[in-house]
Amino acid sequence: MTKADIVETVHEKLGLTKKDISKVVDEVFDAIRGNILDKNNVKISGFGNFEVKKRGRRIGRNPKTGVETVIEPRTVVVFRPSQIFKDEVND
């Protein structure tokens, strides 16, 4: 699903203009992105959580050659679906 698909779906349900819906969708994504970039977690009730986590330095291995290499520390974003969402997916 693309952003255009989201705009189209909301347009069909609410009947607002696609231009207005596109602005709202952009603002929602910008708010989520901004909070994640500020290293804040984002919780969307009934959907899930976007969590900012720090991964430490570790030793990795190239599966093709078997050569060990150092993987530097980094910050990652992890999505954890809510229990409600998990239950809906598994039904």
How many Å apart are CA 32 and CA 40, to the nearest integer?
A: 9
Q: Residue 16 has what pLDDT?
A: 93
Judge if pTM exceeds 0.85.
Answer: no
Split at pLDDT 50, 70, 90, the class of 6 is very high
- Helices assigned H by DSSP within 1-91: 3-14, 18-37, 83-90
Q: Residue 79 has what pLDDT?
A: 97
Q: Among candidates 56, 55, 3, which has minimal Cα distance to 28?
A: 3
Q: Residue 53 has what pLDDT?
A: 95
Q: Among candidates 49, 55, 39, which has minimal Cα distance to 86?
A: 49
pLDDT, one tens digit per residue, over 24-43 is 999 999 999 999 999 999 99
Split at pLDDT 50, 70, 90, the class of 90 is very high
Q: Residue 30 has what pLDDT?
A: 97
Q: Residue 57 has what pLDDT?
A: 96
